[in-house]
Amino acid sequence: MLGVPLLVTATGTAAAHGGGGYGGGMMGGGWGLFGGGMGLWGLLWMGLLIAVPLFLARSLLDRASREEETRAPSVLRERYARGELTDEEFEHRRERLERSE
C-alpha cells in the first residue's frame, strides 16, 4: 500500500531534477521548469493516496455502526409486537439500549 505513494514521490523528485544532472536542465539550474517545488507534488499525491482510502474506510465503518444502532430498537419493537416480550422485559431492554448508545 505504501509502495505506490513512495513511487510517486520518487518519480516527482526525479522529475524535479530535470534531465538527471545538476549542471543543465531547462532553466540552467538543473531543477527543471518548476524548480525544487516539484517534489512537493509527490508529497501531495502521497498524502492523497493515503487519505482517500482512510476516509472511505472510516465512512463505511461509521455507516455500518449507525445501521446497527437503528436495527436493535426495531428488532426489540418487533419482538414486543409479536408478544415474545412482556411489558417489563420490553421496558428493561429498551432502557439498556438507550444507555448503551
> Which helix (DSSP H) or strand (DSSP E) does residue 92 occupy?
helix 87-100
Determine the pLDDT at residue 5: 57
What DSSP letter does each residue of 59-82 carry, written as one string? HHHHHHHHHHHHHHHHHHHHHHHT
Determine the pLDDT at residue 9: 56
Determine the pLDDT at residue 48: 92
CB 90 within 8 A of CB 76: yes
Over residues 34-46, the pLDDT tens digits come to 555 667 778 888 9
Over residues 77-89, the pLDDT tens digits come to 999 999 998 999 9
pLDDT in tens, the chain (101 residues): 555 555 555 555 555 555 544 444 455 455 555 555 667 778 888 999 999 999 999 988 888 777 666 788 888 899 999 999 899 999 999 899 888 76
